[in-house]
Structure 1
Amino acid sequence: MDIVVTVKMVPDLVEELEVNAEGTDLDRSVVKLRINEFDEHALEQALLLKDQHGARVTVVALDSGDVDETLFTCLAKGADRAVKVMGDFQGGVSTHTAAAVLAQVLGGIPHELILAGVQAADDRDGQLAVLLGSALRLPHVSVVTGVEPSGDKAVTVRQEYSGGVVGELEVDLPAVLGIQAAPQTPRYAPVSKVRQMMKTAKLETIEAPAVEMGAGSIVTSLARPEAAGRAEIIEGAPEEVAARLYAILADRGLLKR
């Protein structure tokens, strides 16, 4: 089975994020990027299928910045091939544009199963797998939490619903799936193995095809959340802190005699 996994670079939410001067996006000149968490689960699902049933896994990413190390990491985890799509993607692109580019690129890459993260941390619209399925005229299922082969030409996919209800669907191949979670935690690639891949493996590059830069949706404003209150730090000796705390509570009428 030929499996293609699409991966996207998104802002690292652990880092301090800054809004640009226009108030319409993050300041991408200083933001640190990392692989989208849901795409990590899509890759893990592909690698599980490879480990258990045999498959060839190809990882594809737009060259949106800091992507090389991520692709080498995917190879270190067990992917067989890594493809970087070259183009003007440094400032980020809409999901519609990404889907249009990837649909044309994937037309030249063997695939029976295309896996994408169910959504990305920087847009949360959950549309990439949907749009890929539409553009390629393939069956699509999203919010998937498990995939197993069902004969030679189909897979059984698992979806979790509210209340702990689990559904199973049989999907004909080729197909596009939006992965919410792999059956197990995404595997870790040791730094030494990633460095080895950087020395021995090669990333393939493909020039992005010309597509209409469809926005789909536009962010009109972006701002930090307003602070709802503040904390007062009381310092000093225990007796002083206790006295100050008593005075504050008494002043607010929170003490009962």
Structure 2
Amino acid sequence: MSEHMEHHEAKHKEEAGLGENPVIARIKKHPLLTEFVIIIVVAALIGGYLYWQDSQSRIYIEKAQITAPIISISPPLSGTIDKFYVSEGDRVSNGQRLAVVGNQTVYAMTNGLVIWINNAPGQMATPQTAIVKMIDTDELRLVGRVQEDRGLKDIRPGQHVVFTVDAYGDRKYEASVDSIGLSAREGDIVFSISDKRESREFEVKALFDTQAYPELKNGMSARMWVYK
């Protein structure tokens, strides 16, 4: 009688899925769940591989900036600052009047954007004193700073660059590597956490279409990815 009851109880447990891992028992009862789990695992593996492959094909540069060479304009002769014809933010053309210093008129030597004026009428200015500073917006560059041990050896002129700017979130822009600094930036020394060795930073400059991206401004912070 007891053997019959034990056999009946074992059969009941087997039918109910008792005595084994609940997850396995549930999977056995629901074959579609098994397929779903397999699909999720395979997708995760493929996604992980693609992410790893993509990370190996590009160099991430966290510290970057939109910038252009600054053009400083001074009077040819010393004199008192009398008047300005432009304000910060004005776009000027080559040969346009900028200011009057003493008895002389100061002209723009190129097209550009005024980013600063020495707005101090009555102050003395000399040929060594900048009274207007401009940038040529056509010369805007993406300039990144990469540590020498973080992929510098793999960067070459002409490589494709994708970058974002903090002001526009995740919006992606495109550029191409123009040049790599021939010497390290002065004063930029980074210590490696692993062995506390000095690691210097080099500038990587990239060109982009300034006409296609008119919203990009001098001084904007950016991040960039250089594709090998």
Structure with higher helix content = 1
- More strand per residue: 1 or 2? 2
TM-score, normalisation: structure 1: 0.19
**Normalising by structure 2, what TM-score?**
0.20
